[in-house]
């Protein structure tokens, strides 16, 4: 789901919350008591919306935790699932919407969509301000309906994703020391700088909001660039896929089948050890990588301000 579609969904949801919004005090020194977490983002953080809209993610998605497909484009849990583990009671009552934590994980689809439409790097950069203007409108609308706590992830290093490197022409001079495509990571960093500027403006515009900006790009690039140190292998290859340098084929994805002599044959198979792989299907991360990223960001080490997740209701 790209952010343009996401905006409409968020606006509708914000209206739904309005009847139940109540003031939420953000000055308490105790751990935040979030009664619910509402996540908005692309399929890196989607726990079932994409499958509900376009059909269930096929096996072997979910194999490492759910033992079968569970709406997540990964072998198991996503970063948002590990956040849910911190706050156990996640089924909200009507009065809980204003006390909830609102998480955002955006950018990857917005950037890659332009490239796959044959836009130049300059053209992709040019539409970033418009995307972020829409983002500010969405956050402001949720705030107007009572939302106060926002946990905002920046976008990951898209130039390290197998589906980007496989589909886009990359010359030797465009590859960094890790093997990632520098031009695409440059645009991701530009997006993140502009996102941070948007967050700074939102803090001024929404004085009662607690807004935490989380540098997921830095966490994920640290994992990819130091994979062996952290117990991972083949950081630029997909675990579940078929063929090629990156084990990615846009025509035969994870769980993809072809017909041979009238019979379906599975080509998009899972690797032997997803637990040591970073990338799951060329686009999304494995459960092991998601858990590693969560462990890095949960204590506020990658946040501005440096706020632990459990204190994300506090303004600083």
**Positive or negative torsion for Cα 244, 249, 253, 258:** negative
Nearest Cα neighbor of 117 from 44, 186, 41, 168 is: 168
- Check if 281 is active-site: yes
Cis preceding linkage at 244, omega within 30: no
Q: At what angle do helices 182-205 and 121-144 cross, to 10 degrees?
A: 30
Using an 8 Å Cβ cutoff, are 221 and 159 in contact? Answer: no
- Check if 96 is active-site: no
Cα separation, 144 vs 243, whole angstroms: 49
Q: Which of 42, 81, 96, 284 is catalytic?
A: 284
Q: Which of 81, 105, 166, 281 is catalytic?
A: 281
Using an 8 Å Cβ cutoff, are 152 and 195 in contact? Answer: yes
Q: Which of 43, 45, 74, 149 is catalytic?
A: 43
- Check if 299 is active-site: no
Q: Is 133 helix (H, G, I), strand (E, B) or coil?
A: helix
Phi and psi dihedrals of 283, rounded to 5? -120, -40
- Give the Å distances, CA to CA, from 60 to 14, 75, 306: 35, 7, 37
Active site residues: 43, 281, 284
């Amino acid at each position: 789901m790209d952010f343009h579609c996401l905006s409409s969904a968020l606006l509708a949801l914000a209206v739904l919350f309005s009847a139940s919004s109540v003031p939420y005090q953000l000055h308490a020194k105790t751990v935040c008591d979030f009664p619910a977490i509402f996540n908005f983002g692309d399929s890196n953080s989607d726990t079932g919306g994409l499958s509900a809209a376009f059909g269930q993610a096929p096996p072997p998605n979910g194999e490492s935790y759910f033992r079968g497909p569970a709406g997540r484009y990964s072998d198991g849990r996503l970063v948002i699932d590990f956040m849910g583990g911190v706050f156990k009671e996640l089924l909200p009552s009507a009065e809980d919407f204003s006390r909830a934590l609102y998480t955002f994980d955006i950018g990857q689809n917005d950037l890659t969509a332009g490239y796959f439409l044959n836009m130049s790097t300059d053209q992709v950069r040019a539409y970033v301000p418009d995307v972020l203007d829409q983002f500010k409108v969405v956050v402001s609308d949720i705030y107007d309906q009572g939302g106060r706590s926002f946990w905002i992830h920046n976008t990951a290093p898209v130039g390290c994703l197998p589906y980007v490197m496989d589909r886009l022409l990359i010359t030797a001079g465009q590859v960094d020391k890790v093997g990632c495509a520098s031009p695409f990571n440059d645009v991701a960093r530009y997006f993140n700088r502009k996102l941070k500027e948007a967050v700074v403006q939102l803090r001024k515009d929404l004085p009662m909001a607690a807004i935490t900006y989380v540098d997921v790009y830095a966490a994920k690039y640290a994992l990819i660039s130091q994979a062996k140190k952290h117990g991972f292998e083949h950081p630029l290859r997909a675990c579940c896929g078929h063929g090629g340098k990156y084990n990615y084929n846009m025509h035969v994805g994870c769980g993809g089948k072809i017909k041979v002599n009238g019979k379906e044959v599975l080509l998009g198979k899972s690797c032997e050890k997803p637990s040591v792989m970073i990338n799951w299907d060329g686009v999304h991360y494995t459960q092991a990588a998601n858990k590693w990223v969560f462990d890095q960001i949960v204590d506020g080490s990658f946040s501005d301000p440096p706020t632990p997740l459990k204190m994300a209701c506090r303004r600083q």
